[in-house]
Chains A and B, each alone.
Chain A
């Protein structure tokens, strides 16, 4: 089993969608929210995903397809 820490950033159109709930239902991935800030027009959630590596990757791919931006928790690592 592996763990991955990620940040989901939701566009306005997806604020009302239960994306994280569906991620946990449709993939063998445990979602564990640690910090979040969601308003009516935007939102981000920092969470940990736990599962087999390939299942986490499939899950993240699906989340990205839904229109959610997925980033590493520390922000961009590639620097000048």
Chain B
């Protein structure tokens, strides 16, 4: 059961009932879900969690909806992988990757949308809506299909074909908007006021964002009920970053994990880094920017949770880091070649950012580090196409193969020359 008790204004603290509201009527501050932590502390145990399903709904006590009525396509409980190869290259002895590529629509957005769609259906909405350049569109369309709701998905008119397919296949109504980034934002804000839809990141945003906390719960549980020493997270709106921090703190408050003071570090691409720019200037004032980066899933120029992300950076003692688009591609390749994980551009931002922080000595070699990989690379193939080694083209005979491989200067030894059990030498 859910222990959610109210919505609370993050600015003035006013309380509201659990309804489809997102801003405080008094100060227009954002609303956040509050819980009955005393009851949770009494009732919630590790054993109770461990009996739950292997999805985000395992943690339904800490979410604002009940799992019995969930719109569930199996989001969550993704692998936490110990990464010795990448760790060795970066000088980190305890590096883990939380691989959220393994979600049903291949990104962490399934965590937030399963909660938003469940709550939307409970409120009686028949339409689920969003404005997206990729991952969110896919997840909203898929969950609406599963939940028997209509999906209304707004996309920029110049969106790549592959991303359109990922939303259209689920039968959603796709609306391609001709206009600038700012104009798409403004239109969707007006539509959200005009139509009785559940716009996942507007009127049901307080519920939607809570889904991100499950990343923290899973990591803590998968580490044997301990928190990491250091997390590195990609920053877009900043919501994911603040909710991972909230989840780690909740686990400690409820006595479910030993308290380790986790440092939260955030990474952004240089072409869209309003949060890190403010952090670098030791300011809490976010100056909106016009995004210009290949990391489209992080291209939010006016981040809703930017200010709160800066607070988390300060309170946790974490670091901000920016990386160039070239480093994003390097990061994607590094992760794929070292650990077999093909991440989208946001993953490249995280790995390149992690490399930079490790090089600067801002992450110690013995810290238990978790890097959050939030989406799969097949959706952003165009970002790495030019950086990949092309395939060898050969005629269908051995001589042609051996000639081609020699040209590539790759050493191979024919099987006949190796005894069984003997390793091929470099």
Restricting to B366-393, which residues have a CB under 8 Å from any CB of A? 375
Choice from A5, A9, A34, A37 contacting B26 with Cβ under 8 Å: A34
- The 0/1 profile, CB within 8 Å of B marked 1, for residues 1-32 of chain A is 00011000100000000000000000000000
Contact status A77-B189, CB under 8 Å: yes
* Chain A residue at minimum C-beta to C-beta distance from B200: A79
The 7 closest A-B pairs by CB, nearest first: A80-B297, A75-B304, A72-B189, A78-B131, A34-B28, A77-B188, A79-B136
- Spell out B's residues near A (CB within 8 Å): 11, 22-23, 26-30, 130-136, 154, 156, 181-182, 184-186, 188-189, 192-193, 199, 201-202, 205, 236-237, 285, 287-288, 296-306, 346, 375
Contact status A75-B188, CB under 8 Å: no
* Chain B residue at minimum C-beta to C-beta distance from A39: B285
- Spell out A's residues near B (CB within 8 Å): 4-5, 9, 34-35, 37, 42, 44, 46, 48, 69, 71-80
Q: A34-B28, A35-B27, A74-B189 are in contact. Are A79 and B288 (CB under 8 A)?
A: no
Q: How far is the CB of B408 from chain A (nearest CB, A)?
A: 36
Chain B contacts for A78, CB-based, 8 A: 131-133, 154, 156, 181, 184-185, 188, 300
Chain B contacts for A37, CB-based, 8 A: 285
Contact status B301-A76, CB under 8 Å: yes
* Chain A residue at minimum C-beta to C-beta distance from B191: A77
Contact status B28-A76, CB under 8 Å: no
* Chain B residue at minimum C-beta to C-beta distance from A72: B189
Q: A5-B28, A71-B185 are in contact. Are A80 and B23 (CB under 8 A)?
A: no
Contact status B135-A76, CB under 8 Å: no
Contact status B23-A5, CB under 8 Å: yes
Q: Which of B299, B304, B306 has the most CB of A within 10 A?
A: B304
Chain A contacts for B302, CB-based, 8 A: 71, 75-76
